[in-house]
Structure 1
Amino acid sequence: MFKTAHDASSPDNPNYDKYKDLLSDGWFGYKVDNSDEQYANFRDNLPILVAVICAYLPLSHLFRQYFVPVSPLKSPLQPLYRTYFFLAFSIFYLYFMYGNSLFKILTIVSINFLIAKLGGASKWMPAATWTFNIVILFLNEAYAGYVFADLHKSLAWLDANTGVNNRWDINFNFTMLRLVSFNLDYYWALRQTPEQLKEEKDKTQLTDKERVATPSFVEDYIFLNYLAYSLYAPLYVAGPIMTFNDFVSQLRYPKHVPGKTLLKWVGRLAFSLLTMEFTMHCMHMVAISKRQAWDGNPILQICMIGLFNLVLIWLKLMIIWRFFRLWALLDGIEAPENMIRCVINNYSALGFWRSWHKSFNLWIIRYIYVPLGGTRNASYNIWVVFTFVAVWHDINLKLLAWGWLISLFILPEIIAGKIFSKKKASLETCWGNWPHYRHLCAVGAVGNIMLMMIANLVGFCIGVEGVKLMLGDLFSSFYGWMVMSICFCAIFVCAQLQFEVREDEKRRGIFLNC
């Protein structure tokens, strides 16, 4: 598989001239494919980000040592002292990043806070929150982050300073999730029943799930804490996403992050970065996909271009998310881990979305899926969920097609899970007692994997036309059918291995629920 993808990237390939201008000089005389704008932006600015972290962490820990009490802040009357430092540094950091566009960010954030405070426990507040934030997503896209001169000619001078990253609106999608989190957490805190208010918990011993679900003190939902949470520098650019309740809980009742855990994360991040560099030098999947440079390639090469495109997307996102999560961990804030499985260690569409961008998945479950009825209406609300996910990523037809394909492809798994249930059928007709039940599941897993690959290739790699070409070549020749048959057998074996990985996790007491 690796050799096939490498051969597709070789200078001897007839399509090489179509994309070679996208390649850069790399290590040891190799060309490197740094044409993915998202990862290139991270990779090129990595030295600056490391310098920022080296300046931030000593200041943060000195502030914590001299100004923050050692004991947990159990009373609502005790202010969260670290928010003063977080907010001060974040303002400086975001001005460096986005220049005068910081004023646009602060304006949107402030309006959202006013919606929360004016609405309070009123039923219209969640609707107003969702309407405002979704409208902002569309306006950001339509006006490309806005121009001060369009508001008034006298403000044109503000457009001269856009910082080191002039597209503040791209990263604002993550901020939008925090704005919704604050407003809805505040809404639910105000609507607690008397029984819930009387219930006493030792909040210093809350689990990760309890920190999210347990409302903070009403006194914590103030503008200072809201700004510190919304603009928190380590997680601002790319997440992972934390809820407001979780963030405040960790400030009131700090978690101890062992030094061994931090060293492990540094090592894993360094290994991932080196793996990415090796892959970018050995195969040029992104550049090939951008120029659709696969004319005349064997169908197996086209399939590997698509597959390794997905692998590279997984790897780049894992690196970016782990980098910023490590920054937060070093600061004493534990955000959820986003990538908890390798992209090719998934056989369930539902499980895939629990392990890919997990913090976003948890956010969706809390603020969209459960309010829409959860599993009771799963066949219906997944369409709402994935339409929102597509629009949140980017407002274009390709991603909408991806979102709807995912919704469509999840349905067979939901239906098959009900028909061939391992547990719910009577003992006489229980599918779990059938000797070949595992192999039946593996056949279903092959179908799931292929459908997920098709959907993600449409949304993030080769687009609708590329997928049409690939499927046309697969099903229009004997060689294509042979490749499909071999792929089916290979994925069938991989599914069996994935089943055993899950069983081994259970034996070791690890339950990832995906």
Structure 2
Amino acid sequence: MTFLSEFLSFFSLEALDTRLLPNEQKKQAVQKRSNPVSKWHTLEFKFYMLVFAITVPLMYKTAMDASNETNPNYPRFQHLLSDGWLFGRKVDNSDQQYAFFRNNFGVLAAFIVIHWSLRRLIGKFFQVTKRTYYDFGFGVFFLFAIHGFNTPKLLIHIAINYSITHFIKNHRAAIAVTWVYGLLTLFVNDWYWDYPTGISIIDHGFKGIVERWDVFYNFTLLRMMSFNMDYLERAKEIENAKVSLDKDETKLSTLSYLDDRQRLTAPLPIVDYNWVNYFAYLTYTPLFIAGPIVTFNDFIYQSNYQSLPSVKDYTRTFRYFLRLVFCVLVMEFLLHFMYVVAVSKTKAWEGDTPFQISMLGMFNLNIIWLKLLIPWRLFRFWSLLDGIDPPENMIRCMDNNYSALAFWRAWHRSFNRWVIRYIYIPMGGGGKYRIINSLLVFSFVAIWHDIELKLLMWGWLVVVFLIPEISATIYFKRFEHEWWFRHLCAVGAVVNIWMMMIANLYGFCLGNDGTLALLREMFNTVSGIEFFIFSSGALFVGAQVMFELREAEKRKGIDVRC
């Protein structure tokens, strides 16, 4: 294998998650649909590479100029910077979410070592029939270590949710109560997370490593609801079949490996939906803090019946670890050389050009992507080491997206799969009410992220921006074999990218003031209009390269639809 092919393999999709590898039948079908002739050596794409060689370094330089000590606005955000470790530079550690992870990395590493070592020691000296018994015990210890005497507040929610399915006998009523209670808890926790109980040891005792017990609750809620929905679905199957499948364990353990779709509805015995498995699943330490989300059925199948071949492939796991290290180093470079988060927090963009404001926003979005990707990959790596393979959350670089629909398939992929399974498909999927269903999905996604009107507006904006893409895709599909179709798609991609950037800049980076400032500068000044024209041309080039990257994947039989 040449150095180039090894390098490309290291950064390939298939190196991230075996779920992305197609079976032989699907592989052949995808290859038939692909364009067998590569465009990388054509004059057109050589020109595109020249544009990349000029534009990408210029983007980095512009973001640095707008956020470094040479910028006149530097005194306004200087107080948010800390002492760094790269080349004597300051570091922008002002994002609280990532700062928590960065500052507590040593504690997390210690937990990984303790959890992994104990699992193996107990497995060596004791006969443990089910993995979930260990997960239950370690979950009790971990929950108290991380939340201290705030743990009872979380346990109340856990117990009520478990009771809903085991005491409400009507199937539809149980589903309705699960959703109402789940959504209600998001509001209650936001308003009353530190409400005094009147019990001294709870109000004033040890609060654990993370006093804000509600911070990680949102992920626990997804698992709580997954348990309820999977249990209710399985109970209904058994009721309809009018047979008892409680003694089905032998059948499951002798089945050939179920793929990721089959594991969503794995035929677990109804007795597996018990309190021990439920609590072990909710508090599974590697995935407790932030996921990735694995459904209850999938978790129990992997834990107590058949571990997947991917977790036994230590070479693949080590390569995954190296990808994680690479991403951490990229993040450290950005935090030491571009103080865009601090600029965003202080709104220190006065006098900046439209190009500079747009780069502040774009690299801010890249940092948001990395600050989520790095913890998710660390926790997934921990889980892989421990023998559980959850879905990969980020399978595309944030900048390698041109479709709003495809973007959400690649961003927080396990959450996307969760909302599709438990909201989108039960509501009818992509049929007659596709837009309404999408509106419900993104409303839930916005509320789940935070109880904030700005995020709800962001969710609705995303749905509004989906409409032109869905409509154009349906209308122009008939022309897909025309020579000009690829170029028309690239124009559509440019429009899509602008809309996605504006929605995300508004929702997560610049807010109302910064987004309006960018739009005013971009369309009310000559330099702004010039920037809009040249940047749209650069986005057109980027879209063409993205198209060819996906064609290259299809030639290998891989089509992840994003």
**Does residue 366 of structure 2 align to residue 311 of structure 1?**
yes
**Does residue 140 of structure 2 align to residue 91 of structure 1?**
yes
Q: Which residue of 1 aligns with 2:517?
A: 469
Name the SS of the counterpart of 1:340 in structure 2: coil
Q: Quick one: distance in 2 between partners of 1:151 and 1:328?
A: 35
Q: Which residue of 2 aligns with 1:100?
A: 149
Identity of aligned residues (%): 46
For structure 1, list consecutive stretches of 5 or more residues without a partner in the other structure: 70-79, 422-429
Q: Quick one: distance in 2 between partners of 1:259 and 1:8?
A: 43
For structure 2, list consecutive stretches of 5 or more residues without a partner in the other structure: 1-58
Pairwise CA distance, 1:196: 11
**Does residue 320 of structure 2 align to residue 265 of structure 1?**
yes
**Does residue 197 of structure 2 align to residue 151 of structure 1?**
yes
1:299-378 pair list within 5 angstroms: 299-376=354-431, 377-378=433-434
Code of the residue aligned with 2:458 in structure 1: it is: W
**Contact map agreement 1:35 1:287 (CA 8 A) in 2:** yes
Q: Which residue of 2 aligns with 1:43?
A: 102
Q: Quick one: distance in 2 between partners of 1:454 and 1:266?
A: 34
Structure 1 242/298 Cα, relative in aligned 2: closer, same or farther at 3 Å? Answer: same
Q: Quick one: distance in 2 between partners of 1:197 and 1:319?
A: 44
Q: Which gives a bigger RCO, structure 1 or 2 (Cα 8 Å, sep 6+)?
A: 2
Name the SS of the counterpart of 1:191 in structure 2: helix
Structure 1, residues 230-263: CA drift from partner, whole Å, max 9, x if none?
Answer: 1111100000001000001101111232011111
Structure 1, residues 4-50: CA drift from partner, whole Å, max 9, x if none?
Answer: 00111221211001110000011222010000000000000001110
Q: Which moved more, 1:155-164 or 1:9-18?
A: 155-164
Q: Which residue of 2 aligns with 1:483?
A: 531
Pairwise CA distance, 1:204: 3.9
With the length of structure 1 as denominator, give the TM-score of the two structures: 0.93
Q: Which residue of 2 aligns with 1:163?
A: 208
Q: Quick one: distance in 1 between partners of 2:335 and 2:472?
A: 39
Q: Quick one: distance in 2 between partners of 1:177 and 1:168?
A: 16
**Does residue 277 of structure 2 align to residue 221 of structure 1?**
no
With the length of structure 2 as denominator, give the TM-score of the two structures: 0.85
Q: Quick one: distance in 2 between partners of 1:481 and 1:460?
A: 25
Code of the residue aligned with 1:194 in structure 2: it is: A
Q: Quick one: distance in 2 between partners of 1:183 and 1:483?
A: 52
Q: Which residue of 2 aligns with 1:72?
A: none
**Does residue 81 of structure 2 align to residue 32 of structure 1?**
no
**Contact map agreement 2:197 2:203 (CA 8 A) in 1:** no
Name the SS of the counterpart of 2:279 in structure 1: helix
Q: Which residue of 1 aligns with 2:218?
A: 173
Q: How many residues align?
A: 492
**Does residue 474 of structure 2 align to residue 418 of structure 1?**
yes
**Contact map agreement 2:161 2:178 (CA 8 A) in 1:** yes
Pairwise CA distance, 1:57: 0.3
Structure 1 435/197 Cα, relative in aligned 2: closer, same or farther at 3 Å? Answer: farther
Structure 1 68/419 Cα, relative in aligned 2: closer, same or farther at 3 Å? Answer: farther
Q: Quick one: distance in 2 between partners of 1:132 and 1:285?
A: 39
Structure 1, residues 290-331: CA drift from partner, whole Å, max 9, x if none?
Answer: 000000011110010000001111111110100001111100
Structure 1 374/65 Cα, relative in aligned 2: closer, same or farther at 3 Å? Answer: farther
Q: Quick one: distance in 2 between partners of 1:99 and 1:197?
A: 41
Code of the residue aligned with 1:128 in structure 2: it is: V
Q: Which moved more, 1:175-184 or 1:206-215?
A: 206-215
Q: Quick one: distance in 2 between partners of 1:41 and 1:459?
A: 22
Q: Quick one: distance in 2 between partners of 1:448 and 1:63?
A: 53
Q: Quick one: distance in 2 between partners of 1:55 and 1:356?
A: 31
Q: Quick one: distance in 2 between partners of 1:419 and 1:247?
A: 41
* From 82, 107, 113, the counterpart of 2:162: 113
Q: Quick one: distance in 2 between partners of 1:215 and 1:485?
A: 56
**Contact map agreement 2:343 2:349 (CA 8 A) in 1:** yes
**Does residue 462 of structure 2 align to residue 406 of structure 1?**
yes
Q: Which residue of 1 aligns with 2:241?
A: 194
**Does residue 339 of structure 2 align to residue 291 of structure 1?**
no
**Does residue 65 of structure 2 align to residue 16 of structure 1?**
no
Q: Quick one: distance in 2 between partners of 1:324 and 1:361?
A: 18
Pairwise CA distance, 1:120: 4.3
Q: Quick one: distance in 1 between partners of 2:220 and 2:173?
A: 22
**Contact map agreement 1:8 1:301 (CA 8 A) in 2:** yes
1:435-514 pair list within 5 angstroms: 435-514=483-562
Code of the residue aligned with 1:10 in structure 2: it is: N
Name the SS of the counterpart of 1:123 in structure 2: helix
Q: Which moved more, 1:479-488 or 1:255-264?
A: 255-264
Structure 1, residues 424-460: CA drift from partner, whole Å, max 9, x if none?
Answer: xxxxxx3113220111111111111111111111111
The root-mean-square deviation of aligned C-alpha atoms, in Å, is 1.7
Structure 1 107/204 Cα, relative in aligned 2: closer, same or farther at 3 Å? Answer: farther
Pairwise CA distance, 1:119: 2.2
Code of the residue aligned with 1:420 in structure 2: it is: F
